[in-house]
């Protein structure tokens, strides 16, 4: 099959390329040529800009387009309009953030979607990211009627993850010592290995699956304490976890999912227990979390040491633990 990937050199995109090539497909990339332009030297790459610069695609035809880089409805509208008669199938990678607040346990694909606050501009923020994704879904759905697949992943993790929202924990546990653990050890966690997601998306295209799918894992309920203990087992480490209460973390301006990855306070923990029954029925296969932990740390150890995009620094963690212990003395 002939596949067009909008993006293709960052995280999910690069793994989609690898999966598609391994499955014998013909891949074309469309991007600005800014990020890792030499990553796939043997693949046809059309340089352009999604915002007004799609002309380089005008002579092509594809069995499917995979859109990994659509965030703003106006810009996604340009690509779907331009490709409406040039592609048979459009796969849009959305997010579980597209669901409306408040989330609830075992949300399936029929749950209400987020609505954009009073519109002012196209800036992507914590408030607008989810509603923008929901609007992008509508744009794709209207243009590719019954020819569209909408994927709503949870947290995508694994090798080459630029966000550090998963990588932080294996790397931190590998360093051992006393570790600040977030909130309630019985809160759920959901993640999906980028390689599993990429393989599954290509298989959906091969089998002409359309519709909307939540995409995360594992198949069973999984707790943050389970995850941290698995990291310890995989890395043969025995650190000391100090579980800090949610009230304490909030009082100290610790940002959920950023300063302490995988932690979502209060009702928002339901964002990490969505239903994936539909995706499993459509062939989603998930490798063990142990394998993802090991592979992610192995990749992380090849990186040049520098500031992480998520997680506490050593000094921040030490200060947070000091404050926690001090607060306990006066209880």
Is the dihedral angle over the CA atoms 271, 277, 281, 286 positive or is it negative? positive
pLDDT for residue 85: 97
Helix (H, G, I), strand (E, B) or coil at 175: helix
Distance CA 247, CA 253 (A): 10
Instruction: Find tokens 């029929």 and name the residue.
Output: 110
What integer is the mean pLDDT of 300-327?
Answer: 93
Average pLDDT, the chain: 96
Average pLDDT rounded to a whole number, residues 150-155? 98
Q: Which pLDDT value is given to residue 171?
A: 97
Where do we find the tokens 């339901």?
270
Using DSSP's 3-state secondary structure scheme, residue 110 falls into coil
> Using CA atoms, how far apart are residues 145 and 84, in angstroms rounded to an integer?
10
So what's the pLDDT on residue 304?
83
Question: Of residues 26 and 331, which shows the higher confidence score?
Answer: 26
May I ask the CATH architecture of the domain 168-189+219-268+288-329? Alpha-Beta Complex (3.90)
Closest among 29, 25, 21, 37 to 57, alpha carbons compared: 29
The DSSP code sequence of 50-103 is TTTB-GGGTT--BSEEEESS---HHHHHHHHHHHTTTBS-EEEE--GGGBPSSP
The pLDDT tens digits of the residues spanning 277-290 come to 999 999 999 999 99
Mean local confidence (pLDDT), 127-133: 95
Grade residue 158 by pLDDT with cuts at 50, 70 and 90. very high
Q: Where are the beta strands (DSSP E) in the chain?
A: 2-6, 26-31, 44-47, 64-67, 90-93, 148-153, 155-157, 178-182, 191-193, 211-215, 240-244
Give the list of residues 6+ apart from residue 159 with CB closer than 8 angstroms, or none. 194, 195, 295, 296, 298, 299
pLDDT tens column, 85-124: 999 999 999 999 999 999 999 999 999 999 988 777 899 9
Say if residue 22's pLDDT is above 90.
Answer: yes
Residue 313 has a CB neighbour count (10 Å cut-off) of: 11
Q: What is the pLDDT of residue 220?
A: 95
Share of the chain above pLDDT 90, in %: 94
Q: List residues bridging with 17 in a β-sheet.
A: none
Mind listing the pLDDT tens digit for each residue in 161-218? 999 999 999 999 999 999 999 999 999 999 999 999 999 999 999 999 999 999 999 9
* pLDDT mean over 278-304: 97
pLDDT tens-digit readout, 75-90:
999 999 999 999 999 9
Residue 271 scores a pLDDT above 90: yes
Name residues whose C-beta falls within 8 Å of residue 162's C-beta, 6 or more positions apart in sequence: 10, 11, 309
Delimit the domains of the chain by residue range: 2-153, 168-189+219-268+288-329
User: How is residue 223 annotated by DSSP?
Assistant: B
Name every residue whose Cβ is closer than 8 Å to that of residue 261 and which is 6 or more positions away in sequence.
164, 165, 166, 168, 169, 310, 311
Q: Mean pLDDT lowest for which of 9-18, 164-173, 190-199, 303-312?
A: 303-312
Cβ atoms of residues 153 and 201 within 8 Å: no
2-153: which CATH architecture?
3-Layer(aba) Sandwich (3.40)
Look up the pTM and report it. 0.96
């Amino acid at each position: 099959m002939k596949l067009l990937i909008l993006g293709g050199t960052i995280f999910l995109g690069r793994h989609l390329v690898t999966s598609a090539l391994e499955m014998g497909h013909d891949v074309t990339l469309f991007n600005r040529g800014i990020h890792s332009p030499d990553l796939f030297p043997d693949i046809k790459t059309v340089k352009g800009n999604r915002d007004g610069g799609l002309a380089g695609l005008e002579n092509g035809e594809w069995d499917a387009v995979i859109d990994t880089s659509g965030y703003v409805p106006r810009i996604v509208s340009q690509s779907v309009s331009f490709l409406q008669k040039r592609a048979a199938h459009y796969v849009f990678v959305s997010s579980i953030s597209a669901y409306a607040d408040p989330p609830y346990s075992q949300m399936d694909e029929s749950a209400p979607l987020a609505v954009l606050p009073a519109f002012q501009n196209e800036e992507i923020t914590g408030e607008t990211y989810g509603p923008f994704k929901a609007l992008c879904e509508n744009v794709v759905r209207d243009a590719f009627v019954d020819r569209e697949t909408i994927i709503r992943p949870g947290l995508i993790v694994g090798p080459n993850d630029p966000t550090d929202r998963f990588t932080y924990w294996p790397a931190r546990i590998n360093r051992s010592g006393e570790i600040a653990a977030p909130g309630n050890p019985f809160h759920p966690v959901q993640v999906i290995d980028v390689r599993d997601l990429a393989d599954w998306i290509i298989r959906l295209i091969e089998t002409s699956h359309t519709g909307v799918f939540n995409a995360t894992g594992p198949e069973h309920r999984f707790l943050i304490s389970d995850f941290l203990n698995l990291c310890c087992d995989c890395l043969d480490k025995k650190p000391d976890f100090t579980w800090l209460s949610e009230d304490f973390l909030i009082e100290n301006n610790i940002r959920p999912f950023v300063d302490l990855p995988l932690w979502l306070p209060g009702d928002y923990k339901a964002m990490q227990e969505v239903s994936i029954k539909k995706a499993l029925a459509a062939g989603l296969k998930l490798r063990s979390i142990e394998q993802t932990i090991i592979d992610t740390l192995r990749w992380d150890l090849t990186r040049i040491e520098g500031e992480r995009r998520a997680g506490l620094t050593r000094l921040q963690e030490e200060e947070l633990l000091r404050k926690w212990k001090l607060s306990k003395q006066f209880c």
